[in-house]
Copies of this chain bind each other. A is one copy, B any other.
Amino acid sequence: MAYQYPEYESLKFDRPADRILRITMERGKMNAMDFEFHHSIAEVWRHVEEDPDTSVAILTGAGRAFSAGGDFDLEEKVIAEFDWKARMWKDGRNLVLNMLNFSKPLVSAINGAAAGGGLAAAMLSDVTIMARSAKLADGHVRLGVAAGDHAAIIWPLLCGMARTKYYLMSGKALTAEEAERIGLITMCVDDDKLQETALEVALDLAQAAPSAIRWTKHALNNWMRMAWPVFETSLALEMLGFAGPEVREGLDAHLEKRPPAFNPSSPL
């Protein structure tokens, strides 16, 4: 590859076709995100932007998962230290900021479970293609924090407010078919067609007029830019939740594989 990308521990690059860059998330069995991974997925777009040989990017996951959420060690750090709260606030903000300002078309091929930062990256893609057997879930509330990493800025514009509230307030998972039906993703395809469909769409986009496409994308993203403070509120509230008792219980329950027993009272 002509353009010299940084070395990323958890992102692999290949070129399935001329002018198409495929970024594969790979870390452990479920591609769970530690900070280095999260930081990579927040920053990589500035590099793809500069890469003169890439017209369109594809984002996918290695193995059976797309990316199944945050790493527990990272969550422990965010609970424990203010500096980690601030760092994740900044990185979470940069992920959304950089993706919304990434000029080239991005196609996500959601091959398996998508949650956490991986889900954020998928939902902020321009075209989202999902394998029929895959599921996605924004499980923030199950962990015990507000849904703050991307959802507030884009879900209402994808699938409307009723569905947004239902899935975000419950943390329930969606099948690919349901996600397609409500407009949360672009399309659901059979598992064995996922990568080829993503590549076809990417090739179509790569052969089309690049400036016309980028300015079309760019102009549409102004909807999210105008609503930016809505996102920022959700992000700061998520981080504030990491200073509270619910995330402690949520994480413990998860690690101990038991149902959480949240204190039903809240000063809010």
In this assembly, does A127 line the interface, its C-beta being within 8 Å of a C-beta of chain B?
yes
Q: Is A1 an interface residue (CB 8 A)?
A: no
Q: Please, what's the 1-or-0 string for A133-151, where 1 marks a CB less than 8 Å from any CB in chain B?
A: 0000000111111111000
Integer count of this chain's copies in the complex = 6
Q: Is the interface of A mostly helix, strand, loop or mixed?
A: helix
Chain B residues, CB < 8 A from A247: 209, 212
A15 CB contacts on chain B under 8 angstroms: none
A226 touches B230 (CB 8 A): yes
Number of interface residues of A (CB under 8 A): 100
A170 vs B82: C-alpha distance when bound (angstroms): 23
Q: Pick the contact of A215 from B209, B215, B241 — CB < 8 Å?
A: B241
Cα(A128)–Cα(B245), bound, Å:
30
- Whether B220 pairs with A229 at a CB distance below 8 angstroms is no
Supposing A82-B243, A205-B170 touch, asked if A226 and B228 sit within 8 A by C-beta, the answer is yes
Q: Tell me, in angstroms, the Cα distance from A185 to B162 when the chains sit together.
A: 6
Having A146-B215, A182-B183, one finds 7 other A-B pairs with CB under 8 Å, namely A82-B244, A85-B240, A158-B162, A162-B184, A170-B208, A227-B229, A233-B233
